[in-house]
Structure 1
């Protein structure tokens, strides 16, 4: 059907177009404890079409997007394309061009049934007790193939695996019972890491039952050692996103330092083509641009903007792409060396967020460990807050790195002068 749609687009004389045809083969399983509740096999195809229309002698470019069913008739497809061309006149963006460079596709197809089987076997290896166990879990294992075609002659197909496991664990004692939720995404199943991470979550649940209120620490040192730290590094990456720069959300300039008078470690962040077992390892992005290893930030100096074709065109950045995998370099000290003095180590938030524009961090503490020398106390309640643009001057990063799906970052991030309110 994709070839027929392309033929119709050319025949109707639209000014430009993009067609994305994504096929997904998936196996899904839903367990209550370790008893299978239901499962299904899913084979789906989605074809998204974007039609572009030049307006006011090419000064502006309008666009409209809609999905066309792979089972649509030729007449139905013609009608949708004509409607898209009509609707495109109501969107007036400054003119830009689609990606033109022809690149090779690639990737590998995986058996989603085998992927799901690996996850089920891993879940059965989780060490449970009468006090901490698995409430339920869901497994989604996918093999994806995506073809992208545009009017500039780009026609590229990529394949990649993607999987998600959602887990709810319970912890209980004579007085209380709580539950913790986790979602893990990856390419295929990394059994050892999954067992390790869920076992750690079970221990967090056990400690959550015996917490005391978080003390009012005012300004304190905070050590981030869980997936929440990814949000911190996302802020750095988004400050170099072409759309953020064009819209005035970022004041970072290529070739200039992001802050002065740094007392801690500097930040070096790269967009990379591949990470082991990432849920998106592909040679091209969703708009057909070639993905490569590229510095975004190097020792606190802005290096390269990245993002979609529209905003890169506006900034005059032709040779870039929509990044999917990121790595951050470690610092000068090991995680053990960072674990010194008094510091708060939050491991469970009801929510943790970093505002992508202001850099304000905020998180309500469900479980943290208050370290006072050799004494460690589980605490709950209160919150952490601050603004990254103020805090990054005194941050320490561990030498060791840890991967969270599409992101590889230092395993520990130590930030001074974070505001910590008590319970």
Structure 2
């Protein structure tokens, strides 16, 4: 089928084309508590085709993308390609060149879904549970993906890598109530120690949810983030240096300039990483065929390089860019223990925590928090936090201790000052 699609594209009126063919071998396991309810092995193929069409005057280049079923007939495929060409001709993007092939051999990554599944199951079976704190159910999806990428520009690469997804529901109960907490984990392979630690923390959070009192209305507080919600903060920095955001003026950050003036807190250093242990984003090439590299993008608060796709990078006159996959934020100046010594609100459960990459607005409704006053801790729930990363970026502090969430290795704890706490009392 792939050869048929390539022949149809070559014979079409497309000015350029891009094809990605993914073969996915996935193991799925469904557990109720620790009893296997069902399992299955799934093999699927996904073929995505992009066609490019220039305007009659050659000033514009449009594109359109669609998945083509590997069981489609020749006539069905021809019709889809013609439809894509029609759609692409309506798009008026200023002309840009496409990625060219690079002579680099792809890296090889361990992608055995049976081994990955076994690691997840062994870890879940090793969680410390009690009569009142336990795992309700969990589902494991461990995949080996073989991706072939071909383009009219001569790119022809094959990469194989793991992608996994785990869902876990925990329960905590007393004589009157029961609290259910949900967790999901994206990864490549299984980080046993990190997963065990996080699920056992979640069990403890469920226990504490049974003991909460209404969050007081305190006005301005220091907000500590110590869970995966902190990624919203770090993604803000990564997004602001996206060439697409800069070109479309959704970000005003510029190369060679600091992301904020009068920075009094820790200054961010953010780097692209080709490889991080257990990441689902380990790859030699990005989705367009550009070579992914270890590279410092923000150093000590100053933007050094932008990342992004070929279209927006070319509009900004940037060479050697690529689409960010893994990233790492350098450690902060204080240990986690030192940051935990002051007065702050640590929120570990939100209904939804958001940091808007365009406006910088911060918002989250509190489901479980720990209010530290320097000598005692109050377990709270309800109310919300709000603020702006444009302000918080100037005074934020983060730990020298590090942790990893799939494709991001970041400080374990980040503290944002002068965040508004609206209480539930």
Report the TM-score, using the length of structure 2 for normalisation.
Answer: 0.97
The unaligned stretches of length 5 or more in structure 1 are none
1:83 aligns with 2:89: no
Alignment of 1:148-163 (within 5 A): 148-163=149-164
How far did residue 132 of structure 1 move? 1.0
How far did residue 221 of structure 1 move? 1.2
- Count, aligned residues: 423
Distance 1:243 1:414, change over 3 A: same
Alignment of 1:21-420 (within 5 A): 21-102=21-102, 103-420=104-421
- Counterpart of 1:281 in 2: which secondary structure? coil
The unaligned stretches of length 5 or more in structure 2 are none
Distance in 2 between residues matched to 1:225 and 1:416, nearest whole Å: 15
How far did residue 126 of structure 1 move? 1.0
Distance in 2 between residues matched to 1:73 and 1:318, nearest whole Å: 40
Distance 1:24 1:341, change over 3 A: same
Residues 35-90 of structure 1, C-alpha deviations (whole Å, 9 max, x = no match): 22222211001111111111032111122222222233333323322232222212
Residues 121-140 of structure 1, C-alpha deviations (whole Å, 9 max, x = no match): 21111111111111111100
Distance in 2 between residues matched to 1:230 and 1:120, nearest whole Å: 26
Residues 166-222 of structure 1, C-alpha deviations (whole Å, 9 max, x = no match): 011111111211111100111111222211110110000001100111111101111
- Counterpart of 1:106 in 2: which secondary structure? coil
The root-mean-square deviation of aligned C-alpha atoms, in Å, is 1.3
- Counterpart of 2:228 in 1: which secondary structure? coil
Residues 310-351 of structure 1, C-alpha deviations (whole Å, 9 max, x = no match): 111111112111111010011111111111221111111111
How far did residue 293 of structure 1 move? 1.0
Residues 75-121 of structure 1, C-alpha deviations (whole Å, 9 max, x = no match): 33233222322222122211112101324323235221221122112
Residues 342-361 of structure 1, C-alpha deviations (whole Å, 9 max, x = no match): 11111111110111101111
Distance in 2 between residues matched to 1:150 and 1:39, nearest whole Å: 37
Distance in 2 between residues matched to 1:318 and 1:363, nearest whole Å: 38
Q: Give the conservation status (yes or no) of the 8 Å contact 1:24–1:142.
A: yes
How far did residue 8 of structure 1 move? 2.3
Report the TM-score, using the length of structure 1 for normalisation.
Answer: 0.97
Q: Give the conservation status (yes or no) of the 8 Å contact 1:147–1:158.
A: yes
Distance in 2 between residues matched to 1:227 and 1:326, nearest whole Å: 15
Distance in 2 between residues matched to 1:371 and 1:398, nearest whole Å: 18
- Counterpart of 1:66 in 2: which secondary structure? strand
How far did residue 240 of structure 1 move? 0.6
1:19 aligns to what? 19
How far did residue 154 of structure 1 move? 1.1
How far did residue 13 of structure 1 move? 4.2
Q: Give the conservation status (yes or no) of the 8 Å contact 1:109–1:144.
A: no
Q: Give the conservation status (yes or no) of the 8 Å contact 1:17–1:150.
A: yes
- Counterpart of 2:277 in 1: which secondary structure? coil
Distance in 1 between residues matched to 2:355 and 2:321, nearest whole Å: 25
Distance in 1 between residues matched to 2:415 and 2:88, nearest whole Å: 49
Distance in 2 between residues matched to 1:106 and 1:395, nearest whole Å: 37
